Structure 1
Amino acid sequence: MECAWKGRGTRCTGPAKRRCGRCGAVAYCSLSHQISHRNEHKEECKRLEQQMKHIDIVNEFPFTFSEEATVKICEKQETRCSFFIKKGIHQLGMWLYECPCGTSVISLDCSRSTNGWDLPDELCPCKEPVYPISKHLCSWKEYYEWRCIPLHSPVALLLHWPLTIYHATKVVGLGSWASQISKQLQIHYLGPEKELQQLAVFAELHALFPDVHVHMELIGPAIPQSRDGEKIDLCKYAHCLRTDCFCKSSSNTWGSNSSENLAITLQLRRGFYHDRYKDIAKESSPHFIIAPNAGIAAYSSWLPTMELIKELGVPAVFSDYCEEACHLGAGCISSVTGSTLNLPIQLNPFRQPMVVEDSALLLPCYSNCFLYGI
């Protein structure tokens, strides 16, 4: 936790241990820094106070590892690394990018990818579901029950990417049952980062949208130049560790016995959405747009993108790490578009069930934690 006034004036005198007595969401290294921040903090303080009252709800998950992945990490009794070591998946495959150990690998080798869970078959969704999806899934517990996965499995730590997409289609009124989607769902996915090393998890969209060809355009400056324009077909689920599992069978590909293309197709585009849209539109018009962990208030590059999204008139959903980030982002959207949110800020039931380490606020922060949209 950093001092809320760090970098604004005089140098910090030590660790930020002096919390705001009202909201409790920010901390300072000294009384002088707290006084310096008072006028600026006054506006947000009451809002943060209300958000802090909902901490227990935000931290609530059904998993057997929930306390380890939330409270204990917040209290420095656990780290992401120690959690993954206990699970036997530290620095393995897609899990590598979920702890600080993966940061240097991402920067040095952006083309590195994997298509396996590094888990036993009973702990991951490596095959078709036993029963087709028959209702809206509204929680991690419902998803795990449907996929017959025990609640000690950590796969939700990666599956929050496709499950957030699934939930977003629900809250904006889309879904595999909607006439406007029919047999194809076109998604424009803005600002991917570490997802680029975890693309195999998006194969789960095949189970979530049965009989639908899902095509995603992934657009963002984090996509390496060497991967710009790359096309990827996900024709099977991410595989498990069992060598004789059906998930590794060459015949286990979607549409292999059908004329329909049911693969999940991904197209990578380097750059900002507003710069690349004309090229993308020649091949793909979106049913909806999603921007995970968008950080809209933090990056001025979102302004022309918001103008474009308003012009397109298609549903757009944004997520962020905490409610306050969404509030600030919503203010930016309103100033650009001149309109209020069509999708109010709301907690995402499929947020990643592991808290972010060393967040800027004392609010609990999770990847894809809250959603809002226009």
Structure 2
Amino acid sequence: MGQAAKAAAFDLAVAPTAQKNRALAIIADELEANKEAILAANAKDIKAAVEAGISEAMQDRLLLTEERLVGIANDVRNVINLNDPVGSEIDSKVLENGMSLSRRRVPIGVIGVIYEARPNVTIDIASLCLKTGNASILRGGKETFFSNMELVKVIQVALEKAGLPAASVQYIEKPDRELVSQLLTLDDYVDMIIPRGGAGLHKMCKENSSIPVIIGGFGISHAFVDDSADLERALAVVDNSKAQRPSACNALDTLLVHEAVAPQFLALLADNMAGRVELVAEPKAYALLKEFDGVSLREAQEGDFDTEWLSYTLGVKVVADVNEAAAHMQKHNASHSDTILTNNIESAEKFINTAGSAAVYVNASTRFTDGAQFGLGAEVAVSTQKLHARGPMGLEELTSYKWVGKADYLIRS
């Protein structure tokens, strides 16, 4: 598999943009033409998920519908319309010796991606890697096995129709975890590993990979309601961040509330979240929230504020000010998406400068951390580390660069 991917990457690296776009167009068309087979495969995954007792929020991540499939196909078409970064010059200059020196974007090569149970991710990764001339080796969650097998079949048919190697996109079919361990050691063939998932997967990849690893997806997302915030409007942002799609990696995990507005805001929150979201509160917040009927409430235990909930659960804490909010976030893995809700410019700037997350917002939902929302077309992952790429990884983040020097038979003196 590694050898085939490396050979395919050689062909992809020199494939013209028009050919890559043709492959993407065929993928989009094939997704729609094969919708019955894809949805039937997905139904098998959903049936298995129900039988396994997987939560409804996670089942929603697994689910493909005809409408979602059309949306995925259109996302692929959107990638066609994005500029191909391969071959573009990042910068250039003429040296004193007369050499014209530039940095030119090039594909990374072969990218291995280990990801969660979301079938749309298979198409996102394949399309972005294809556009940037990278071969990919994919390993999705066992919960989407049948869906992914059908999707990869569609992709490989499209690649061959476009005159590109089918091995440009390969899928590890067996759920055996040992195969993941083997993938992590294929440094002769694979140039980058991107694990999308929980802390356990990230730790395993960092400790066992002989290939550079970019961590994607995991991180606790916070919202801080400042004492100057418009509380009604802040509530709408908190609701959107938490409840629009709680299984998403950019959904809100922890709400921090300035003590000066905590009584008023938590009253609004209790009414808004009643019957929908379980609130996990530290003592100050718990004392305020327990006064309200209909609230699903429990006291926070050790580790709760380090939990990426991915469900209808929200941690709540009262803090003294933006400084205590920043200290809490630093202690509890704020590396993904964080927002401050405030009308105070100084508080906003302090939050921006102290938050260690890949994406920081002022008066906006954490749910915007997404390749499509950022105008990147789609994303391979949301990188929560600081080297090479950070935040949603679009096309440019899937390239490296080479130095190109042009001269007139120049020799070094």
TM-score computed with the length of structure 1 as normaliser: 0.33
Higher helix share: 2
TM-score computed with the length of structure 2 as normaliser: 0.31
